[in-house]
Amino acid sequence: MYEKTKQKRAITFKRWKRTPWAAFASLGKTIRIGVLCVTYSLLVFNSVTALAQSKQKSANETIIALEELVINTERPSPFQPLVRVVAVIQQKEIERAAVRNIQDLLRYIQGADLRSRGSEGVQADLNILGGTFDQTMVMINGTNFTDPQTGHHSLNIPVEISQIERIEVLHGPGAWSDGAVAYSGAINIITKKPATKSLQANMTGGEHGFFKGSINAGYTNSRQSTGTYHPKKWNIWGQAGAGYSRSDGFAQNTDFDILNIYTNFSAKNHHGHSLELQAGYQEKAFGANSFYSVAYPEQFEKTRVILSSIEYTWSCSKWQATANLYHRRHHDRFELFRNESPEWYTAHNYHMNDIAGANASMAYRWGKAGSTVAGADYRYEHIYSTVLGDSFTTNQNPNGKPVPGEQGVYFTRSKQRATPSIYLRHILQLNKWRFTAGVMSAQTLNSGEGKDYNARIYAGLAAAYQITPHLEANGWVNNSYRNPTFTDLYYKSPTQTGNINLKPEEAVAGQLALRFTKLRFHASISAFYRYGYSIIDWTRESGSDQWSANNITNISSIGTDFNFIYTPKSGPINRASLSWSWMEVTKESANIHSLYATDYLKNKATLGVDHKLLSRLSANWHFSWQKREGSYLGPDNTELPYKPFLLADLRVIWEKGVIQPFAEATNLFNVNYLHIGNLPQPRRWIKAGINLHIK
């Protein structure tokens, strides 16, 4: 009788950071929500063990303090099974940063070298761990949208930062992750799945005729936050938004107009079926002052991007099957002379490239023996161009293919290639150890004059050991490759010449790291080494301004990285972070100057402080000191070294009510600096605006 009437004790969680908590209903106990942080990988399943300390508060209540655990019931990102030290910038940090576009936001991320050509998201190159911009993979929600024409266009991303949940940065190659190859690293932009119906709007104005406006609407029918589920009903999440920005330019021929439109949609039921869709459109027109040659400052460029993907996942207790289809089309019109041109200049350059792909995988949980993932991937890349590719005009078709949106202009060249691959990996948890091992076979089939690249085997091993509940050691080793871009193969200009005989570049890399996480402290330190061979780079001899693409023998890269984050529970400081990166790159060939491979960021130190000024008024500071190795050819044809510089950004925001005003300043100290030789960068730039957020 006593057993039937005994009252159940309540469990109180002291830490809480995620909303999906209905799994606790299975405990059969009364749940009192406090604050809890939980992480879990669906394919690793039971790979993480909860460590709890409990004490008796009263006769009917037990307090359990859980450390860093995660439950993530969505499909794992491509990074989760790889045991990587991954730099992540979360939604809260994104919203409070003193930048309004993805490209500038990447400057804030540990281990990332962001080299801007144009301001405010116009164009930038992203390098990771000493690699070049062509060696960095760019993904949106795990789909590889890296541009095959040139890495200069890979960051043409039609997503507004108000639509982003987080950005993940993978350090090092991942040659066997879902059939994709990241030569030196990758970024993955994860967009939001709204927890409530919401409307967000932003309007910003500033110096140099700057204006930016954006709007985003979120929708969901899910009651996940209240723990109420409908077994026969699909839970839906979605958002749709657009943004427009423009400026007269901070210097001559640096004006721009940018339009972004993006939407993503998710649906999931309780029979294990889920669907993910996304689509986006971007259009840019901008003055490209000296972008590709200081000899021609009046360059101009216009680009358009259309992308989409759809992914289906089915999962049960032991199986998970996933299929993904994606497509991206990129249009580019490049003008060497924006206004008046000499007689020898007869036409602009036009390009239209497509990537399309399909990926399918199956995962199985063996229990104590771990989980196995097997899959196949097919990626197709194609370009129509007036200068890149093989000639395809014939007597029956003397003009070629009309350029969309242009009168009397025709594509006369094209190139296509396909890369099929198969991959296999296994994930294993043994007490305090976690292992991931994988292998991938890939071959590239070229059309036209190019030769097929032989099938190669790429493999990797990663391991992590839980030294204490708060301290983990991990490491990995991989080999990887990268195909030459269409620009590497075919581009010709008065100062640049491509090379149709280029081979893929390859590398072997490894990293060791320590990671400490406890309550509000996070710290990591790592060291990596990469040996690259048959490296693709644009090189020139001393004193010459003529660049050519070559496989320039071998390059060794070594570096270290340190990161520290502290988020106090209370007090004037909301968040503080400190990071430092060091790198050394050496090449085996001498007497040549490298445009990219040995022109790298040797030292980068950052400091971020987010603090309260008043109860509702906060300030976010970001300081970055950079020292770049390498040199550039100055206007008088002399070699000039890059000078170190210190940048500071500040954002002040009022955080109360539906309408929140803010003010921000980038390059607060008005520093004159260079990311890429001879390209002007903005000095101090002050902006102000308002955010509107309705739930």
High-pLDDT (> 70) share of the chain, %: 83
Q: Of all residues in the chain, what percent carry a pLDDT higher than 90?
A: 55
Backbone angles phi, psi at 276, to 5 degrees: -125, 125
pLDDT higher than threshold 70 for residue 31:
no
Instruction: Name the most confidently modeled range: 39-43, 180-184, 477-481.
Output: 477-481
Task: Let me know how long the chain is.
Answer: 695
Digit-coded pLDDT (tens) for 543-557: 667 788 888 778 899
CA distance 671 to 668: 8
For range 655-660, the mean pLDDT: 89
- Quote the pLDDT of residue 560: 94
CB 214 within 8 A of CB 241: yes
The pLDDT-based confidence of 33 (bands split at 50, 70, 90) is very low
pLDDT digits (tens, 9 = 90+) for 408-430: 999 999 999 999 999 998 988 88
- Mean pLDDT throughout 306-311? 98
pLDDT band (50, 70, 90) for residue 333: very high
Task: Please give the mean pLDDT across all residues of the chain.
Answer: 83
What would the two tokens of residue 504 be?
A: 């893929």
**Residue 223, pLDDT score:** 67
Long-range contacts of 429-432 (CB under 8 A, 24+ apart): 429/44, 429/46, 429/47, 429/48, 429/370, 432/465, 432/466, 432/467
pLDDT value of position 177? 60
Mean predicted confidence (pLDDT) in 75-94: 62
**Which of the two residues, 47 and 568, has the higher pLDDT score?**
568
State how far the Cα of 404 lies from the Cα of 10, in Å rounded to an integer.
Answer: 66
User: Each residue of 278-295: pLDDT tens digit?
Assistant: 999 999 999 999 888 788
Q: Enter the pTM of the model.
A: 0.86
Higher pLDDT pick, 576 / 171: 576
Could you count the other beta carbons within 10 Å of the beta carbon of residue 134?
A: 27
What is the set of domains in the chain, with CATH numbers? 1-73 (no CATH), 185-222+243-276+286-315+349-694 (2.40.170.20)
Q: Could you identify the residue written with the tokens 């400057």?
A: 107
pLDDT value at residue 10: 43
In this predicted model, what pLDDT tens digit does every residue of 205-263 receive, in sequence order? 999 999 999 999 999 987 654 445 555 588 999 999 999 999 999 999 999 999 999 99
What pLDDT, on a 0 to 100 scale, did the predictor assign at position 202? Answer: 95
| Dist CA 295 CA 286 (whole Å) | 18
pLDDT of residue 179: 67
Question: Contact, 138 vs 131, CB < 8 A?
Answer: no
Instruction: Give tens-digit pLDDT for 367-401.
Output: 888 889 999 999 999 999 999 999 987 777 788 89
